[in-house]
Amino acid sequence: MDTTKIQHYKKALLSIQTRINQLLTKEQSFLREFNPLTESLDEGDFSQATVDREMELLSRDALLQISKLVESALKKVESGTYGICERCQQEIPEGRLKALPYTPYCVSCQSIIEKKYEK
Ligand SMILES: [Zn+2]
């Protein structure tokens, strides 16, 4: 993945982290005021509106979980391993990263892991 793209993802991750912190600390009224479609989105934030809308529906626990994933994704950006699946070491397809920039796994590993948890 080239540096420009990684910077885009890094920006997306940072803004998700900021949003999570806001959601965790602000009161409920913040959720009603916030409109992801009208907030400033530059071209790098392609998936931001979707991610934000989904986050508003999440529980506090889920937000904390995502926050951890975002943190570890940011560490990977620094170490140059961002976008590599933690389980199979293959590159995660960009379509998936655009939808879930903090995901540590590719689609097939994710579904294997989810099946494990279901048992
Ligand atoms: Zn994988």
Residue ranges of domains in the chain: 3-118
- Overall size of the chain counted in residues: 119
Distance 93 CA to ligand 1 centre (A): 10
**Superfamily grouping for domain 3-118:** DksA, coiled-coil domain (1.20.120.910)
Return d(Cα 109, Cα 51) in angstroms, integer. 21
Distance 109 CA to ligand 1 centre (A): 4
Say if CB 87 and CB 109 are below 8 A apart: yes
Distance 90 CA to ligand 1 centre (A): 6
Distance 82 CA to ligand 1 centre (A): 13
Return d(Cα 10, Cα 96) in angstroms, integer. 15
Distance 58 CA to ligand 1 centre (A): 25
Segment holding 88, helix H or strand E: none
Burial 66-104 (b: 16+ CB within 10 A, else e): bbebbeebbebbeeeebbbbeeeeeebeeebbeebbbbb
Distance 88 CA to ligand 1 centre (A): 4
Distance 119 CA to ligand 1 centre (A): 20
The one-digit pLDDT tens for each residue of the chain (119 residues) are: 889 999 999 999 999 999 999 888 865 544 555 555 555 545 455 555 666 667 777 888 899 999 999 999 999 999 999 999 999 999 999 999 999 999 999 999 999 999 987 76
